Amino acid sequence: MGPLSPARTLRLWGPRSLGVALGVFMTIGFALQLLGGPFQRRLPGPQLRQPSAPSLRPALLSCAPRQRLVFLKTHKSGSSSVLSLLHRYGDRHGLRFALPARYQFGYPRLFQASRVKGYRPQTGGTQLPFHILCHHMRFNLKEVLQVMPSDSFFFSIVRDPAALARSAFSYYKSTSSAFRKSPSLAAFLANPRAFYRPGARGDHYARNLLWFDFGLPFPPEKRAKRGSLHPPRDPDPRQLQVLPSGAGPRAQTLNPNALIHPVSTVADHRSQISSPASFDLGSSSFIQWGLAWLDSVFDLVMVAEYFDESLVLLADALCWGLDDVVGFMHNAQAGRKQGLSTVSNSGLTAEDRQLTARARAWNNLDWALYVHFNRSLWARIEKYGQRRLQTAVAELRARREALAKHCLAGGEASDPKYITDRRFRPFQFGSAKVLGYILRSGLSPQDQEECERLATPELQYKDKLDAKQFPPTVSLPLKTSRPLSP
Ligand SMILES: Nc1ncnc2c1ncn2[C@@H]1O[C@H](COP(=O)(O)OS(=O)(=O)O)[C@@H](OP(=O)(O)O)[C@H]1O
């Protein structure tokens, strides 16, 4: 849809030599990666939205809020909390969502434009454009660009694979055949190959789920010798948090078609192009290639462990206000230690630490992805200014707390058994309860509306947007054969 921007055209129809591209763009990438976003302008909002909420940029320098967004909603990574703010923003501003017929775009198959409700490529440019594409998919750039303009803001979120594995195990226990067969996550990670069969039903949930969701190809499985899985060494938490600006290269000229269809689509150029098929797919050059490609496509990758820092950077990059990104946590499973930091290892028992190391080793591609985007995030934070970020994060948290006190019964999330209003009861799945919200009574009509938006779970919100975008057609009464009376 629409002409491709030069940058993303390059990304699609890239250079002849992948090796040269990697070298060149690892250098150029630093500069591009570190360029700041546009300037901030506050938007007017309803009463609950603080008129005095701080602008992230000096007031004199304004910018136009970005409203063409592609959010890759990765699994078990805090993505529903991001979805909630996108739903609210789009709803408030009357933006058009590219929606799936149900709740996902044919997942786990690669995204296809034809899965978007109301997508009609034959209408010769007369179709109203979409603003936001944000529901679960396995990313497929070529098809995404059929639906969304190439200069949309592309972003996503990653989470430490150890935390993600804990979350995925309890959520997909009955969906993944590998998880179903194993009595516990510890037992699974002690000997994953005893349970895991690549390609078996739902087993993409059991290994390198982020890599899978980003639509990247997988190395062919080599039979590993027993005991050959080496856990990565625990990272130095300081290194993980604030690495110098070794941020990812923007490999703008890589060819994602080659990535997605490694063999068939590069066949014509094989003599000139180093395709992923020519790598040892398990090698670090293959991983670097995948990461460089992601850098060339995604404008921002948030990190769940630094969710609020990521939100501030998101607001800055989109030229949105802090109020636009403040919201409640969605899809949290009850009884999980939310404060437990797998990144810093603080508060972890020896058993927890072993499980963390094993989970990262088993999910080696996700771990590489996570470390890479963690570095990019902190490079970006350096650029933004640590002090400035801390101030904005503190403000964001204060706003969230105030909203929770104002909107929610008890001021916090509730066990779903107490949520009797179906509009607010989150979809229950997996072996743990998924928490939700109960609204305080006695809210003013305006506050009620805003609090409802904040508390509405993703499925109900998607249905609401769907109904708004595709209002039921009013069927006119059929003509009767009875002659009209004079
Ligand atoms: N703000 C924030 N910061 C950190 N972590 C967060 C946040 N919001 C949600 N979560 C946690 O993310 C888990 C749910 O992820 P998703 O919403 O991506 O899940 S899903 O794939 O859509 O089902 C789920 O993890 P578990 O509770 O460990 O299962 C949530 O608690």
ipTM of model: 0.99
Q: Tell me the chain's radius of gyration from C-alpha atoms.
A: 23
- Centroid of ligand 1 to alpha carbon of 202 (angstroms): 19
Around Cβ 6, how many Cβ atoms within 10 Å?
11
The pTM assigned to this predicted structure is 0.80
Using alpha carbons only, give the angle 266, 121, 138 rounded to the nearest 5 degrees: 50
Using alpha carbons only, give the angle 275, 276, 277 rounded to the nearest 5 degrees: 85
Phi, psi of 333 (to 5 degrees): -90, 140
Q: Retrieve residue 323's tokens.
A: 């109020």
Q: Check pLDDT > 80 for residue 311.
A: yes
Please give the helix or strand (H or E) that residue 157 lies within, else none.
strand 153-158
pLDDT for the residue 58:
44
Grouping H, G, I as helix, E, B as strand and the rest as coil, residue 156 is: strand
Q: In terms of pLDDT, which residue wins out, 352 or 3? A: 352
- Centroid of ligand 1 to alpha carbon of 78 (angstroms): 3
Per-residue pLDDT tens over the stretch 169-178: 999 999 999 9
pLDDT for the residue 127:
75
Closest Cα to atom 9 of ligand 1? 78
DSSP letter for 267, please.
G
- Terminal Cα-to-Cα distance of the chain (whole angstroms): 53
DSSP letter for 194, please.
G
**Contact yes or no for 92/177 (Cβ under 8 A):** no
Atom of ligand 1 nearest to the CA of 333: 27
Closest Cα to atom 10 of ligand 1? 78
Atom of ligand 1 nearest to the CA of 432: 29
| Distance between CA atoms of residues 416 and 411, nearest Å | 15
**Range with the lowest mean pLDDT among 39-53, 161-175, 200-214, 280-294?**
39-53
- Centroid of ligand 1 to alpha carbon of 83 (angstroms): 11
pLDDT band at 30 (very low <50, low <70, confident <90, very high): very low
**67 to 52, 90, 246, 486: CA distances (angstroms):** 23, 8, 29, 55
**Contact yes or no for 295/313 (Cβ under 8 A):** no
| Distance between CA atoms of residues 309 and 429, nearest Å | 29
pLDDT for the residue 341:
53
Q: Retrieve residue 298's tokens.
A: 């995604």
Atom of ligand 1 nearest to the CA of 163: 28
Atom of ligand 1 nearest to the CA of 73: 18
H helical segments located in 302-385 = 307-318, 322-325, 350-362, 364-384
- Centroid of ligand 1 to alpha carbon of 121 (angstroms): 35
What is the rounded average pLDDT of the residues 61-90? Answer: 96
pLDDT for the residue 238:
36
**Contact yes or no for 314/155 (Cβ under 8 A):** yes
Q: Check pLDDT > 60 for residue 2.
A: no
Candidates 300, 276, 273; CA nearest to 290 is: 276
Q: Retrieve residue 404's tokens.
A: 């929770």
**Range with the lowest mean pLDDT among 193-197, 277-281, 289-293, 441-445?**
277-281
Per-residue pLDDT tens over the stretch 217-242: 987 765 544 444 443 343 443 344 32
pLDDT for the residue 222:
57
H helical segments located in 408-480 = 445-455, 458-469
| Distance between CA atoms of residues 413 and 230, nearest Å | 39
Which residue ranges have their beta carbon within 6 Å of ligand 1? 75-81, 166-167, 304, 307, 329, 331-333, 336
Closest Cα to atom 30 of ligand 1? 332
Around Cβ 329, how many Cβ atoms within 10 Å?
16
- Centroid of ligand 1 to alpha carbon of 335 (angstroms): 13
Atom of ligand 1 nearest to the CA of 80: 17
Closest Cα to atom 25 of ligand 1? 332
pLDDT for the residue 481:
43
What is the rounded average pLDDT of the residues 434-448? Answer: 97
Q: Retrieve residue 419's tokens.
A: 């949520």
